[in-house]
């Protein structure tokens, strides 16, 4: 059984060995694969493993030996699952591995907006405290979360875990459904809005000018879900015009982020490089779950299939 990993670097940059997956057969792992190299590297593979490297219908038509595709992710838009199903190729994802890590990171983003801890630490090291006249100083507003309202859009595993942590901080949690009037009311009342919904054709760019116009000028927006949920120019405009107080995002519409992304020029916007999922604990769970997906396929009983 020939197994080829097209983009293994992020799952195992050196601290998360592939041994469990490699034990199933001939094993080849590539750190990254460009679109131009997919066919060459995938030739002869019976099992393909990918995270963000795209596998198209055209690729599948030229890869007759492929019998199974394993995604090292929850999202599966990197694979043409319809074409795979037509070929009789099951595609399995890992539906749950990073709940605690992503929820923890989401709250970390929120706390950074509230306190700008790194900014103040940098100021201390730059001498601002040493030369200051007072026993303390702060360069940004400091706010506490107790009593504030958190609207959670997407109330799955991660959204519910964020809710648990937020409640422990004294926040009022409001899960938000898909009904527009419910959303508008939630936006009006929320001090913080956090996104935890999957990306679909229907909700692409739904955090737009209209959406942001219903938020409080003092409110924060968090996004550790999918970058394309947000119309980035509209968010940048809202931040620069003071329509909302701040945003903290771990994802953007095109990754790596482009130099002309408008959020790079936006006020009060914290951007991290899609790292909410990368704790060693989460990546070890992801590696083990990927091995279990391969094991189940080889046993003739595939699990976590997204194209049944």
Mean local confidence (pLDDT), 180-188:
92
Rg (CA), the chain: 22
Report residue 179's pLDDT band, with 50, 70 and 90 as the boundaries. Answer: confident
**Same domain flag for 68 and 131:** no
- Whether the pLDDT of residue 178 is over 90: the answer is no
49: closest CA among 70, 28, 25? 70
Strands (E), 51-197: 68-71, 91-92, 149-153, 172-176, 192-195
Query: 83 in a domain, yes or no?
Result: yes
Query: 116 in a domain, yes or no?
Result: yes
Note if the pTM is more than 0.75: yes
**Same domain flag for 11 and 61:** yes
Strands (E), the chain: 2-5, 26-29, 47-50, 68-71, 91-92, 149-153, 172-176, 192-195, 220-223, 246-249, 269-271
Number of Cβ within a 10 Å radius of residue 100:
16
Query: 303 in a domain, yes or no?
Result: no
Facing residues of 175 across strands? 152
Number of Cβ within a 10 Å radius of residue 259:
6
**Same domain flag for 114 and 244:** yes
- Whether the pLDDT of residue 134 is over 80: the answer is yes
Query: 165 in a domain, yes or no?
Result: yes
Residue keyed to tokens 């694969």: 33
25-65 pLDDT, tens per residue?
Answer: 999 999 999 999 999 999 999 999 999 999 999 999 999 99
Query: 291 in a domain, yes or no?
Result: yes
The answer to whether 53 touches 38, Cβ cutoff 8 Å, is yes
**Same domain flag for 196 and 154:** yes
Q: Is the peptide bond before 79 cis (omega within 30 degrees of 0)?
A: no
Region at 17 (left for phi over 0; alpha for psi -120 to 50; beta for the rest): beta
**Same domain flag for 9 and 121:** no
How much is the pLDDT for 161? 98
Annotated active-site positions, please? 226, 255, 274
CATH code: domain of residue 148:
3.40.50.720
Q: Which residues contact 76 (CB under 8 A, 6 or more apart)?
A: 91, 93, 306
Across the chain, mean pLDDT equals: 97
How much is the pLDDT for 139? 96
C-alpha 173/C-alpha 169 separation (Å) is: 11
Report the domain count for the chain: 2
Residue 215's domain spans which residues? 99-271
Q: Is the peptide bond before 93 cis (omega within 30 degrees of 0)?
A: no
**Same domain flag for 53 and 146:** no
**Same domain flag for 126 and 243:** yes
**Same domain flag for 82 and 20:** yes
Query: 104 in a domain, yes or no?
Result: yes
Mean local confidence (pLDDT), 258-281:
98
The answer to whether 274 touches 67, Cβ cutoff 8 Å, is no
Query: 227 in a domain, yes or no?
Result: yes
Query: 7 in a domain, yes or no?
Result: yes
107-123 pLDDT, tens per residue?
Answer: 999 999 999 999 999 99
**Same domain flag for 122 and 219:** yes
């Amino acid at each position: 059984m020939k197994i080829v990993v097209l983009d293994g670097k992020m799952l195992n940059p050196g601290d998360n060995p592939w041994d469990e997956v490699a034990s199933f057969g001939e094993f080849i792992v590539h750190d990254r694969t460009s679109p131009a190299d997919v066919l060459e590297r995938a030739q002869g593979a019976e099992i393909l493993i990918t995270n963000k490297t795209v596998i198209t219908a055209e690729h599948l038509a030229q890869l007759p030996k492929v019998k199974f595709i394993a995604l090292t992710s929850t999202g599966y838009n990197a694979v043409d699952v319809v074409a795979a199903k037509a070929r009789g190729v099951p595609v399995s994802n890992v539906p749950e591995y990073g709940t605690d890590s992503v929820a923890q990171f989401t709250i970390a983003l929120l706390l950074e907006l509230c306190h700008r801890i790194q900014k103040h630490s940098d100021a201390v090291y730059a001498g601002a405290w040493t030369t200051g006249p007072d026993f303390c100083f702060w360069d940004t507003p400091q706010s506490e979360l107790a009593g504030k309202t958190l609207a959670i859009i997407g109330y799955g595993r991660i959204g519910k875990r964020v809710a648990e942590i937020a409640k422990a901080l004294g926040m009022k949690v409001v899960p938000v459904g898909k009904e527009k009037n419910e959303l508008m009311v939630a936006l009006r009342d929320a001090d913080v809005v956090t996104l935890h919904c999957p990306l679909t054709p229907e909700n692409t760019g739904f955090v737009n000018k209209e959406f942001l116009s219903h938020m409080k000028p003092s409110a924060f927006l968090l996004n550790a879900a999918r970058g394309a949920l947000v119309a980035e120019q509209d968010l940048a405009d809202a931040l620069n015009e003071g329509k909302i107080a701040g945003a903290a995002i771990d994802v953007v519409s095109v990754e790596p982020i482009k130099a002309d992304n408008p959020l790079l020029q936006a006020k009060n916007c914290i951007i991290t490089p899609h790292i909410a999922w990368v704790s060693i604990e989460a990546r070890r769970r992801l590696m083990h779950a990927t091995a279990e997906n391969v094991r189940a396929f080889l046993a003739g009983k595939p699990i976590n299939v997204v194209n049944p």
